[in-house]
Amino acid sequence: MSYLLFQASFLAYFLSTAAYTVFFITQKNAVRGNARKIFFGAAFLHTATIFARYFEAGHTPITSIHETVSFFAWSIACCYLSFRWRYTVRNFGTFASLMVFVLMLVAACAPKIILPIPPAMQSWLLPVHASIAIIADAFLALAAIGGAMYLLQERELKEKRFGFFYSRLPSLESLDKLNQHCISIGFPLMTLGMITGYIWARQIWGGRDWHWDPKIIWSMITWFFYAGLMHQRFTVGWRGRRAAIMTIIAFGAVLLTLLFQLSGVHNGA
């Protein structure tokens, strides 16, 4: 059942991405309305997929490459939809839907076998830690998208071309606020995820505090990246291009950390 729901949500994300792309090119409001409806429907189907997978597996579906990447895509979709209730950023849905679709494509190509959780790792802290960490990554992904859009728009303005992207992207101020908003949510969630992960790791490792696990090392490096960015933003007053570039670089560290996890490097148990 979960496989069929996943296929349906994957198709719906593809259709919404295609519709958003058509809207980005044509700027027809009717197309945008349809794209939003399809994306919302895709997120709903994706939510049903995760619930179905949970009942089939007997645990939170975040223990394989397919499940983790799918959950990451779902988190980005839901964070984007929650974001839209408060802010309207022109054509942001085009970029967000594209990232979700790419992640769903990766999940679709990964083995879909349900993996059991080793006894040593069975704890209520596993779903809590993993869910918080992935949702944090989702908000940071949206911040990176905003950073990329900022750099595209800034380039148009600097070169005074006022071409294809200029008329379709939001103002630099709107994109900077988007970046700040997403990081202000994502960084505290990342911190909470690291704390719950530390507590869970101590349970697995029998109270020992430190393992030279690459995922833990990169998690700390990533945390310091965002801590530095938060400090520069709210203390020094960083804005604009520097903040956008730093956000993209920091998200690269997020992806590297996730890659370690998906490659099976994080094997503390």
60-89 pLDDT, tens digit per residue, is 888 888 999 999 999 999 999 987 767 778
Furthest-apart CA atoms within the chain: distance in Å? 61
Q: Do the domain assignments include residue 77? A: yes
Residue 263 phi/psi, 5° resolution? -80, 0
Residues 68 and 95 in one domain: yes
Query: Residue 268 has what pLDDT?
Result: 40
Q: Do the domain assignments include residue 62? A: yes
Q: Which domain holds residue 42?
A: 1-112
| DSSP line for 20-48 | HHHHHHH--HHHHHHHHHHHHHHHHHHHH
Q: Do the domain assignments include residue 165? A: yes
Average predicted confidence (pLDDT) for the chain: 85
For the chain, the C-alpha Rg in angstroms (whole number) is: 19
Residues 11 and 75 in one domain: yes
Helices marked H in the chain: 2-26, 29-57, 65-84, 92-109, 125-159, 172-204, 214-231, 240-262
Residues 51 and 145 in one domain: no
| DSSP line for 145-173 | HHHHHHHHHHHHHHHT---TTTTTS--HH
Residues 42 and 66 in one domain: yes
Query: Residue 52 has what pLDDT?
Result: 93
Tokens 């929650």, located at residue: 82
Most confident of 3-7, 17-21, 258-262: 17-21
Tokens 């790419």, located at residue: 102
Residues 105 and 130 in one domain: no
Q: Do the domain assignments include residue 119? A: no
Residues 26 and 63 in one domain: yes
pTM, rounded to two decimals: 0.88
Q: Characterize 193-214 residue by residue with b for buried, 16 or more Cβ atoms within 10 angstroms of its Cβ, and e for exposed.
A: bbebbeebbeebeeeeeeeebe
Query: Residue 267 has what pLDDT?
Result: 43
Query: Do residues 252 and 241 touch, judged by C-beta distance below 8 A?
Result: no
| Residue ending a domain, choose from 47, 82, 112 | 112
Query: Residue 6 has what pLDDT?
Result: 94
Give 255 or 266, the one with higher predicted confidence: 255
The answer, yes or no, to whether residue 117 has pLDDT greater than 90, is no
Query: Residue 269 has what pLDDT?
Result: 38
Residues 60 and 133 in one domain: no
The answer, yes or no, to whether residue 265 has pLDDT greater than 70, is no
Q: Do the domain assignments include residue 118? A: no
Residues 57 and 138 in one domain: no
The confidence band for 109, taking pLDDT boundaries of 50, 70 and 90, is: very high
Residues 1 and 93 in one domain: yes
The answer, yes or no, to whether residue 266 has pLDDT greater than 60, is no
**pLDDT, tens digit, for every residue of 208-243?**
555 666 777 878 888 998 998 888 877 776 777 888
How far is Cα 96 from Cα 197, in angstroms, rounded to an integer?
A: 28
The answer, yes or no, to whether residue 254 has pLDDT greater than 60, is yes
Residues 105 and 144 in one domain: no
Number of domains the chain is built from? 2
Query: Residue 220 has what pLDDT?
Result: 86
Tokens of 183: 């990081």
Give 42 or 217, the one with higher predicted confidence: 42
* Averaged pLDDT for residues 102-128: 82
Tokens 């979960």, located at residue: 2
User: CB-based contacts of 34: which residues, under 8 Å, 6+ apart?
Assistant: 19
Tokens of 197: 């992960």
Helices 240-262 and 125-159 sit at what angle, rounded to 10 degrees?
Answer: 140
Out of 23-32, 69-78, 259-268, least confident range: 259-268
* Averaged pLDDT for residues 8-33: 93
Query: Residue 264 has what pLDDT?
Result: 56
Q: Do the domain assignments include residue 120? A: no
| Residue ending a domain, choose from 112, 144, 170 | 112
Q: Do the domain assignments include residue 107? A: yes
Residues 101 and 135 in one domain: no
Q: Do the domain assignments include residue 117? A: no
Residues 236 and 192 in one domain: yes
| Residue ending a domain, choose from 62, 78, 112 | 112
